[in-house]
Structure 1
Amino acid sequence: MSGVVVVGGGLTGATVATTLREEGYDGPVTVVGAEPHAPYERPLLSKGYLLGTQQRDEAFVHPPPWYPEHDVELRTGVAVTAVDRAAGQVLLDDGTRLPYDHVVLATGARPRRLDVPGADLPGVRYLRRLEDADRLLAAFGERPRVVVVGGGWIGLETAVAAREAGLEVTVLESGPVPLGRVLGPEMAQVFADLHRAHGVDLRTGVSVAAIEADRHGRVGGVRLGDGSLVPAGLVVVGVGAEPEVALAEAACLEVADGVVVDEHLRTADPRVLAAGDVARAWRPALGRHLRVEHWANAGRQGALAARTILGTGATDDRLPYFYTDQYDLGMEYVGFTETSGEGRYDDVVVRGDLAGRQFIAFWVRGGRVLAGMNVNVWDVSEDIEALVRAGGGVDDREWSVP
């Protein structure tokens, strides 16, 4: 029996192995990760660990003994070079060939690189791996002026950590508001106001022309498209992520902003599945393919991939979910909207105190709720999801918002 090979050592990969063992699979299970660590959860890196409120070890999905205790072979620090579908083997860069009955591509995503002169200078950082967070924490201790390029989730959460460490922070965002493509202009403004209220120099509608060096050959500043210079001793780039699809492409699997899979996470080859950040999965609840890069999706799809291998016929029809904690604002979001396209909304309805940042926002089209976000209001995300799934309107139930 060849068993299951999981390519990727993150939360998705660990959850595949965990679910297989918890639900009775007794064949060989191998998890292969290019990083030198056991599988860990990435949200901690830009949240608790970078803030200093959580320890590094809290990121790991399981303590190291869990893997041998559950007869899971964990291969770390080794990269997969190919998936040979004809031979039913996964090839590693150390020359090993691992036979498989099923292989799960849980290869995740990589940070999109900033393509400007000076982007490779010492002091330009990205945040994706444990070592990245370690380096940022060490850099914070040198008290630099911090410039964050990109106003997405990673960029804003990094800005929070830097401000909480007492550093001067500038955030550069090309759009009119940070998070505009995710939340739309109405709710994105909440986060713009939040960061400015906490002392961040948030500049929107700007472009980065170059990163310039100081007299020591390290980062000295960020040159903007209008010619102005923003001084910096540390530049953190958060301009999005790209799915790691090279293995799938080389294996002649369908790729379109991720590895295209069905509602069971199967590719066109039923022995090859994809899950987590890399998977562009069919979403029955939305009636479309969608790729999601958030923590909840990683765990859910890891479990679903395992159940597909077990032949349960399971699907996951839950809606996308994500969360963030920034300064004194905690929020949860469930559902899916777009500012344009088939998922577009035509109105945002708010219940509660918008100015006091204690409210629920609903994205609505034609009176039907598409998504909801609860801000400093708790224990309502399941109710919001139920409303979205039922095709209801905001006033189909009473919302208790202080």
Structure 2
Amino acid sequence: MTAEPIVIVGASLAGATAAKTLREEGWSGGVVLIGAETELPYERPPLSKDVLLGKKGPESAQLHDEQWYADNSVELRLGTTVTAIDPAAHTVTLDDGSQQAYSKLLLATGSRVRRLDVPGGDLPGIHYLRTAQQSQELTDAYAAKPRVVVVGAGWIGLEAASAAKERGCEVTVVAPQSTVLASAMGEQVGELYADLHRKHGVVFRFGARVEGFEGADAVTGVRIAGEVLPADLVVVGVGVQPNLELAEAAGLEVASAEEGSGVVTGADLQTSAADVYAAGDIVRWAHPKLGRSLRVEHWQNAKDTGAVAAKAMLGQEVAHDAQPYFFTDQFDLGMEYVGDVPRGTSYHVVLRGDPASGAYLAFWLSDDEHVLAGMHVNVWDATDSIRALIGQQADPARLGDSSIELSAV
């Protein structure tokens, strides 16, 4: 048996999935899972969905109970931060000054929220949504049915707005873009989501940037150009940034912000350092099917990369070739999205079905009519068919014709 354990930095979904996969694949050596948070590893999607709606507690998002880690001989070090990595010595340094040797190392350090650096930004009543604790705090705050201003019209902002409205709050969303999800899905599809929220009473203030927050002991308003929006509670959802500092300090190859950020790896998720791998939000890997590098910040990718990295650390011939996948629940809308539209790519959207009915498909096609991505809204048997079309050339007229089977377009 190898003397040194496999060490996983980040008790995240990717990290915990890797630990589980190591045991499933027969690794009998040591496994050390290190996490800065004090909670057991958990999944993040429930935090902005059922937990925020008050239907479940944060503990429902846990991957395993504490006994599972003991039963599977996974040494769990919570509330512990790794401060440095020495790839040459095969050690990591912990926040108490001690060192932990490793045979293989997996970096699964995830992301952190981007914070608004404006006057009043530290006032009580301003919430961010990333951790289990933050989700519970926001859930408790929604119970009082406050006037809520959501800053940001991306996925987290919309899910926070949806939950607040369903909990009986008055909700206004502020964003600098012309509509919701403009960068992720384009204006045409973004407006479909905006219309959904409008129908449920959400008010939008597009083309507006937050200049600061008003209040003395707690937030009372959000200042935008020329006016102050009253607010008893603010949710800021302006994106996340990957935690790359450890990798950068250790000399690993890391893509620049202009290149899309991320720890650079091959399809097997091994970094530029021997015996060091990356998974989850931080990894920018060479996708063998798409023929380009990719970094994805979604739940499915964390699970997939955790499993692939574990197998690669055990010497298996593996490649992370799954199509990116994402889902959301907002009001009565359930959506699944497969594929990826590269930044700066020229595309057009083909709709299949009538969005007014509440059930439809959408496809993003390149200029030469190859399917880059597709999604369904409340059409629950369509995901596999959408996935099969990714990368294929399709006739837009047939693709948009609901009378023609997707397999025949």
TM-score range (shorter-chain normalised) is over 0.9
Q: Secondary structure at the match of 2:52?
A: helix
| Structure 1 match to 2:299 | 295
In 2, Cα distance between equivalents of 1:137 and 1:234: 12
Alignment of 1:59-208 (within 5 A): 59-208=61-210
Q: Give the residue type in structure 2 aligned to 1:262.
A: G
Q: Which among 320, 325, 346 is matched to residue 321 of structure 1?
A: 325
| Structure 1 match to 2:359 | 358
The answer to whether the 8 A contact 2:371-2:392 is kept is: no
| Structure 1 match to 2:234 | 235
Q: Secondary structure at the match of 2:356?
A: coil
| 1:296-335 deviation per Cα after TM superposition (whole angstroms, max 9, x unaligned) | 0000000000011111110121110000010011010001
In 2, Cα distance between equivalents of 1:74 and 1:322: 29
- What is the CA distance between 1:384 and its match in structure 2? 1.1
Q: Give the residue type in structure 2 aligned to 1:244.
A: N
TM (normalized to structure 1)? 0.95
In 1, Cα distance between equivalents of 2:321 and 2:284: 14
Q: Give the residue type in structure 2 aligned to 1:218.
A: A
- What is the CA distance between 1:288 and its match in structure 2? 1.3
- Any gaps of 5 or more consecutive residues in structure 1? none
Q: Give the residue type in structure 2 aligned to 1:315.
A: A
- What is the CA distance between 1:393 and its match in structure 2? 4.6
| 1:375-398 deviation per Cα after TM superposition (whole angstroms, max 9, x unaligned) | 010122121111114444554761
The answer to whether the 8 A contact 1:146-1:234 is kept is: yes
| Structure 1 match to 2:378 | 376
Indicate how the Cα distance of structure 1 residues 392 and 304 shifts in structure 2: closer, same or farther if over 3 A, else same.
Answer: farther
| Structure 2 match to 1:262 | 266
Indicate how the Cα distance of structure 1 residues 393 and 273 shifts in structure 2: closer, same or farther if over 3 A, else same.
Answer: farther
The answer to whether the 8 A contact 2:147-2:169 is kept is: yes
Q: Give the residue type in structure 1 aligned to 2:274.
A: P
Q: Secondary structure at the match of 1:208?
A: coil
Q: Which among 199, 210, 213 is matched to residue 211 of structure 1?
A: 213
In 1, Cα distance between equivalents of 2:363 and 2:145: 40
In 2, Cα distance between equivalents of 1:151 and 1:328: 18
The answer to whether the 8 A contact 1:126-1:238 is kept is: yes
| 1:147-199 deviation per Cα after TM superposition (whole angstroms, max 9, x unaligned) | 11000111110111111110001110110011110001111111110111111
- What is the CA distance between 1:291 and its match in structure 2? 1.0
- What is the CA distance between 1:399 and its match in structure 2? 3.6
In 1, Cα distance between equivalents of 2:395 and 2:293: 24
Q: Give the residue type in structure 2 aligned to 1:26.
A: S
The answer to whether the 8 A contact 1:320-1:336 is kept is: yes
In 2, Cα distance between equivalents of 1:157 and 1:344: 28
Is 1:333 the counterpart of 2:337 in the alignment?
Answer: yes
The answer to whether the 8 A contact 1:6-1:31 is kept is: yes
In 2, Cα distance between equivalents of 1:399 and 1:132: 42
The answer to whether the 8 A contact 2:57-2:136 is kept is: no
In 1, Cα distance between equivalents of 2:44 and 2:178: 28
The answer to whether the 8 A contact 1:337-1:344 is kept is: no
Is 1:279 the counterpart of 2:286 in the alignment?
Answer: no
Q: Secondary structure at the match of 1:355?
A: helix
The answer to whether the 8 A contact 1:122-1:218 is kept is: yes
Alignment of 1:33-48 (within 5 A): 33-48=35-50
In 1, Cα distance between equivalents of 2:249 and 2:320: 28
- What is the CA distance between 1:143 and its match in structure 2? 2.6
Q: Give the residue type in structure 1 aligned to 2:252.
A: L
Q: Give the residue type in structure 1 aligned to 2:354.
A: D
Is 1:27 the counterpart of 2:29 in the alignment?
Answer: yes
The answer to whether the 8 A contact 2:385-2:406 is kept is: no
In 2, Cα distance between equivalents of 1:385 and 1:69: 37
| 1:213-260 deviation per Cα after TM superposition (whole angstroms, max 9, x unaligned) | 14xx21010000x22110001111100100000100110111121211
In 1, Cα distance between equivalents of 2:289 and 2:119: 44
TM (normalized to structure 2)? 0.94
In 1, Cα distance between equivalents of 2:233 and 2:57: 23
Q: Which among 7, 10, 13 is matched to residue 9 of structure 2?
A: 7
The answer to whether the 8 A contact 1:10-1:40 is kept is: yes
The answer to whether the 8 A contact 2:87-2:274 is kept is: no
In 1, Cα distance between equivalents of 2:195 and 2:97: 53
Identity %: 51
| Structure 2 match to 1:54 | 56
- Any gaps of 5 or more consecutive residues in structure 2? 256-260
- What is the CA distance between 1:369 and its match in structure 2? 1.1
In 2, Cα distance between equivalents of 1:278 and 1:54: 29
The answer to whether the 8 A contact 1:351-1:399 is kept is: no
| 1:4-39 deviation per Cα after TM superposition (whole angstroms, max 9, x unaligned) | 100001110000000000011111100000000111
| 1:53-77 deviation per Cα after TM superposition (whole angstroms, max 9, x unaligned) | 2332220011110001011100001
In 2, Cα distance between equivalents of 1:85 and 1:260: 15
| Structure 1 match to 2:258 | none
RMSD over equivalenced CA pairs, Å: 1.4
The answer to whether the 8 A contact 1:387-1:393 is kept is: no
In 2, Cα distance between equivalents of 1:89 and 1:96: 10
